[in-house]
Structure 1
Amino acid sequence: MNVEEIVDIRISAGQQQAFEEAVHRGVTTVIGQAKGFMGYSLQHSIESPERYLLTICWKTLEDHTVGFRESELFPQWRAIVGPFFAQPPVIEHFVRA
């Protein structure tokens, strides 16, 4: 069963291009090394320019919650994207119905 981690992110105004570049760099250089990582997508809101939805696909929930979040990779990822956050992101996990 594949799991989708959906991250609702609000960033500081005027940082869209730099944030998008940081996400791509962080996924390709850090998250891409994590066991169970299967891909990602980033969506940008039309109505709310500082809002993004980041979807990261994992083989299992534990690949994200234990394998990635408890590894040395997580602080590396947050160091790349965290400075852009205007508030803590909201994260939920989904499976296809």
Structure 2
Amino acid sequence: MILEVAILNVIPGQSAAFEASFQQAQQIISSMKGYVSHELQRCMEVDNQYILLVRWETLEDHTEGFRGSAEYQQWKKLLHHYYDPFPVVHHYELV
């Protein structure tokens, strides 16, 4: 199993709209092949910052399957305009 980790910095004043959009977007990601689970958490110390954790069966399920899909285009349309700067995504595996 692979853990995708993204720190999301949302444009100030856009947090409520981002959270509402994420409610729609999570339905997209949870329907994808290889998806296991996800969670979105709001930072308590840094305003407008979130962490997104997504568990995938394989790295390719995320990097090729999801990112190469039509559903990803919907995901981007719903969420990507909220970020500044655009998040860096890292993948982790259990040791």
TM-score class normalised by the smaller sequence: over 0.9
Residue segments in structure 1 that go unaligned for 5+ positions in a row: none
Structure 1 segments (4+ residues) deviating >4 Å: none
> What fraction of aligned residue pairs are identical, expressed as a percent?
32
Q: Which amino acid aligns with 1:6?
A: V
Residue segments in structure 2 that go unaligned for 5+ positions in a row: none
Provide the aligned C-alpha RMSD in A: 1.1
Q: Quote the offset at 1:48 in angstroms.
A: 0.8
Work out the CA distance in 2 between the residues paired with 1:41 and 1:72.
Answer: 22
Q: Quote the offset at 1:25 in angstroms.
A: 1.2
Aligned to 2:24: 25
Q: Quote the offset at 1:66 in angstroms.
A: 0.6
1:86 alignment partner, one of 84, 87, 92 = 84
Work out the CA distance in 2 between the residues paired with 1:7 and 1:67.
Answer: 18
If the length of structure 1 is used for normalisation, what is the TM-score? 0.91
Aligned to 1:67: 65
Aligned to 1:7: 6
If the length of structure 2 is used for normalisation, what is the TM-score? 0.92
Establish whether residue 55 from structure 1 lines up as the match of residue 49 from structure 2.
no
Q: Which amino acid aligns with 1:49?
A: D
Q: Which amino acid aligns with 2:22?
A: V
